[in-house]
Structure 1
Amino acid sequence: MRDVPCEIIEDLMPLVVDDVCSEESRETVEEHLVHCKQCQLKWQRMKADLPIAEKKSIDATADDRVIKGMASTWKKGKKKSFLKGVFLSALSIAVLLLAYVGLFEWQITSVPADNAEITDVGKTEDGKIMYHLNINDGYSVNTLKYSMGDDGNFYITAKRPVVKEEAQPPFALEKGYDSIDIPDQESFRGQKIKAIYFGTPKDRTLIWKKGMDLPDASEEAKERFGF
């Protein structure tokens, strides 16, 4: 055992406590403390004054939980993005379908009265008014809408979609006979018909009005309706 003065041991103690000394210095201090009571007391006081570093437990599963949390967040975000994509796709399809129906299917455009030729107007014994309609703008007609105002005026309005189609034979409503059963319409609507117009209240052509002297319906018209 080396005979090292206590002064040197006291100088080495802080280095040993802070673990910044060599292994040889540590062994020297430990050997000296074995037989030196005075240095032992100083060593104990020094260690007692040393702040104890807080030991933090290391959670071995911390990284795993972080990774799982990231994966869960990613999955939720992916699901939300998927649902959002489905919703936007369905909305786009609905808008396109609505636009298609609005342009090609909905009968919302009225044929101007100037584009309609009304000929061969006649009547039958049971009160029907027959006439021949010719839409002369070259486009097909899909619907004839019947309506009646409070003033007793009856309107026949030709309707077609926004996107028009060329009329092709055999022609449907754009070229042919039509018949209005006045007694039946009056019974259905609960008021008397004073006049029949083709068109709308703001754009119309007179077909018949009460008191007008009409010839009997033509044989062609009667044949069309099975008379």
Structure 2
Amino acid sequence: MSEARIRVALVDDQALFRAGIRMLVGSQPDLEFAGEAGDGLAGADLIERSWPDVVLMDIRMPVMDGIAATERVLGTAAERGVRAPRIIVLTTFDLDEAAARAIRGGASGFVLKDAEPEFLLAAIRTVHAGNAVIAPGATRELFEHFGPGRVERPASAPVAYGALTARERDIFLLAARGMSNAEIAAGEYLSEATVKTHISRILSKLTLRDRVQLVVYAFEHGLVG
């Protein structure tokens, strides 16, 4: 028996963009298009009715924005006591602050709206598997937004960050710059399993859900750059 297809919903206020995504998702044998909506309120209603596996959520929309819609859906999941749909925020280079807010609100990652179709499809499968995803180049954009001179830096690193070991801090900084476990392992002469263990401990100590939140945490607290 073949595995169930990944059900994907789309919330975006641009009809032409929705049509393109609908065709893209429908062309994949392991994906199923689960519906679309043109604003955040209608999107939240759609999601709560159909409960898809993955949601592609625009940020700036009429009636209700994508951040509020994401928070509502995750709140509904908590009330129902069920796993929430994985939410991928659709953003552009000039919306990284909003993307960071969406990540804090519970989104599983963000993808640029002009991303290659293959990357978007890979992102859907990645978040469905329980991992996070960051758009290529978005780490650089976050640095430009949260980097020196752009925001007020904290006087000192957060207390929780001080609890990391020296090795954990090294790996934290590498992960914050968007490096994969394999890249960190190669550069630090460690096994990927060891890096994965360090990342898990770092996330636990900092009370972060995933690597995407780690990146946002690093830039917001001035720990990189």
Normalising by the smaller structure, the TM-score range is: under 0.3
More strand by share: 1
Structure showing greater Rg: 1
TM-score (norm 1): 0.22
TM-score (norm 2): 0.22
More helix by share: 2
